Amino acid sequence: MVRRTYLFFVSLIFPICLFSQGHTTVSSAAPRLIVGLVVENMHPDYIERYWSKFGEDGFKRLYAGGFICANHHVNNLVQRPTVGMATLFTGTTPSHHGIVNDNWIDRLLNKETDCTFDNLYATIGSDSKSGQRSASKLMTPTLGDRLKLVTKGRSRVFSIAMNDYAAVFSAGHAADGAYWLDDKTGNMISSSYYLAQYPVWAVEFNKFKLADKYLGNNWKTLTDQIGYNESVESTSLHESGFLGKYNNFPYDLSKLRKEAGGSYAFLKNTPFANTYIKDFALQLIPKEQLGYDFIPDLLTLVFSSMDKEGGNFGPFSVEMEDIYLRMDKDIAELLKYIENGYGTENVLFFLTSTSSVSYHADYLKEKYRMNTGVFDPESSVALLKSYLNIKYGEGIWVEKFSNQQLYLNHELIAKKKINLRDMQVETARFLNQFEGIAYAKAATEIESDNFLGGPLAAFQNNFYIKRSGDVMIRYEEGWLPKDKYKAVDYTDNDQVPLVWYGAGIKKGTSLKKTDAADVVPTICALLGIVPPSGTTGSVIEEILPKNEK
């Protein structure tokens, strides 16, 4: 067990002080530490569903003592954790921050590019290439970047996650450290984009080999499985299970990991990935002296076990319930440690998600007779290719289709002297005929029309001209895409939780609709600073002290 080092603060009288840059200042009443607890693929239903099973000091502590934004959404067309993470920490949409998907076709380089991959930088913490990552493709500043500018670099900014994109986009460009799991070694690693060398304390942490420890155990339910009444039997949920065949407790994680290929990435399929994040945080906070002075620091912790687990088991599963009961204990330990060290009034917590989950289409149809279905992207794109061959002649007209975005072959279109915009519109028209597709919109339509406030607004929110596809689609509500050969991580649900707790936050609930882009400007308002340039979200005024509105 990682030894916890408790904080020691020297009592002193600190004069009222403002850290300024131009007309922007950090209020002297600002919290010493801002802690973001981000749970990927979290449906708001989970809190109410498991409420009676939670302890008093985790989720219940946040919700019972905090301010709940009960109608909170991520209004992006593409509901990917990558896109949502960038939106959450920049306070703006993909049309501004540029992260339109996990990857896209770079038209200038004429090749596919990953949203975080950057071979200009090296891995810090192992000899793998998993640290060749940066925030260089993120086109607008983040909350952490703004803190750095306002305090002339004195704010400390860190992030911890299982996945590289989560660590990178929550940390931003100017962070002091972003850490994530190396699938090759099981170590927590970073990139030379953030660090010149790996900290000694992190080297010592990796010597504990916690990934080996957690993957060497069996995963059994935290309590007697017969009491998991909030969940549904696996046979009713169309669950594929681990490796498409294992869906009953207990799970021999060592055996499953070997069968899955031996990578430490398998840890992300278990609740112990969240515990690993908590363990690392309990070392980072005192070693990096976060919150030790009166200049506000930022720490983001991203819990993502359910990001992987949702595809295997689904939101009604016993496995999902067990993950949340265990995560509740991890969050309780973090809250206790931080509040005991700093005092609740000196720390601002926010808990939210970057994406939600959908219930399985077949389950909803069979159980509740809802109008849902499964969409086959592979077959639909195959029909589209045949149609384009008939209309425009033989050729590889479609370069890529992924996560609701279709890219046409611009080089071939130019060579054949075909009007690109005409082909975009014709492609969208063809796709609009398929059952399961609500809208298919051509890039030229998205550029020229104004969809603000309507059902198509999400198309413009997600459109970045240099990176987005030639055609973007939205599935009908309740419909889920399904690939023959691989799991498809998709949701049509954009509602996620948001709760505020700690410094200056009064208990309460608001049903006013809020958006992921509102989080950054709200935190900036609480700090008394102007939000990052490019921010398009609005301040959630209900949580502000009356004299700050």
Contacts of 269 (CB under 8 A, 6+ apart): 242, 305, 308, 309, 312
pLDDT band at 331, cuts 50/70/90?
very high
- Residue 305 pLDDT exceeds 90: no
- Residue 19 pLDDT exceeds 50: no
> Looking at residue 488, what is its pLDDT?
65
> Looking at residue 394, what is its pLDDT?
96
> Looking at residue 71, what is its pLDDT?
97
Contacts of 523 (CB under 8 A, 6+ apart): 34, 143, 348, 350
pLDDT band at 453, cuts 50/70/90?
low
pLDDT band at 311, cuts 50/70/90?
low
- Pick from 295, 381, 353: nearest CA to 25: 295
Residue 55's alpha-carbon distances to 35, 52, 350, 371, 505, in angstroms, are 21, 8, 19, 37, 22
Q: What percent of the chain clears pLDDT 70, i.e. is strictly above it?
A: 90
- Pick from 177, 186, 192, 183: nearest CA to 207: 186
| 451 burial type by CB count under 10 A (0-12 exposed, 13-18 middle, 19+ buried) | middle
Same domain, yes or no, for 456 and 519? no
Q: How far apart are CA 21 and CA 23, in angstroms?
A: 6
pLDDT band at 533, cuts 50/70/90?
confident
Please report, as a single letter, which amino acid is at residue 108: L
Q: How far apart are CA 545 and CA 549, in angstroms?
A: 7
The answer to whether position 8 is within a domain reads no
The answer to whether position 12 is within a domain reads no
Same domain, yes or no, for 382 and 248? no
**How do residues 169-189 score in pLDDT, each as one tens digit?**
999 999 999 999 999 999 999
Q: How far apart are CA 329 and CA 332, in angstroms?
A: 5
Q: How far apart are CA 424 and CA 410, in angstroms?
A: 11
The answer to whether position 79 is within a domain reads yes
> What does the pLDDT average to over 443-467?
85
- Pick from 134, 124, 316, 350: nearest CA to 238: 316
Q: What percent of the chain clears pLDDT 90, i.e. is strictly above it?
A: 74
The answer to whether position 6 is within a domain reads no
- Residue 20 pLDDT exceeds 50: no
Chain centroid to Cα 115, Å, comes to 13
Direct distance between the N- and C-terminal alpha carbons of the chain, in angstroms, rounded to an integer: 45
> Looking at residue 545, what is its pLDDT?
83
| Of 431, 461, 481, the domain-final residue | 481
The alpha carbon dihedral of 496, 502, 504, 507 has a sign of positive
Phi-psi region of 345 (alpha: psi -120 to 50; beta: other; left: phi over 0): alpha
Same domain, yes or no, for 176 and 45? yes
Q: How far apart are CA 249 and CA 234, in angstroms?
A: 11
Please report, as a single letter, which amino acid is at residue 405: Q
> What does the pLDDT average to over 8-15?
30
> Looking at residue 25, what is its pLDDT?
64
Higher pLDDT among residues 368 and 521, named by residue:
521
pLDDT band at 15, cuts 50/70/90?
very low
Same domain, yes or no, for 126 and 198? yes
pLDDT band at 409, cuts 50/70/90?
very high
Whether 83 contacts 516, CB under 8 Å: no
Same domain, yes or no, for 39 and 165? yes
- Residue 438 pLDDT exceeds 50: yes
- Pick from 200, 322, 185: nearest CA to 265: 185
The answer to whether position 1 is within a domain reads no
Give the domain CATH number at 411: 3.30.1360.150
Strand extents, DSSP E, 443-510 = 471-475, 479-481, 498-502, 508-510
Higher pLDDT among residues 15 and 495, named by residue:
495
pLDDT band at 235, cuts 50/70/90?
low
Q: How far apart are CA 290 and CA 296, in angstroms?
A: 9
Return the structure tokens found at 539.
């301040």
DSSP secondary structure code for residue 16 in this structure: P
- Residue 14 pLDDT exceeds 60: no
With tokens 């949701």, the residue in question is 491
Whether 257 contacts 269, CB under 8 Å: no
> Looking at residue 484, what is its pLDDT?
66
> Looking at residue 370, what is its pLDDT?
72
> Looking at residue 548, what is its pLDDT?
52
Give the domain CATH number at 102: 3.40.720.10
The answer to whether position 120 is within a domain reads yes
| Of 426, 458, 481, the domain-final residue | 481
The chain-wide mean pLDDT, for the chain, equals 89
Return the structure tokens found at 431.
């796709």
How many domains is the chain built from? 2
> Looking at residue 434, what is its pLDDT?
95
> Looking at residue 314, what is its pLDDT?
79
Domain that holds residue 352: 23-357+493-548
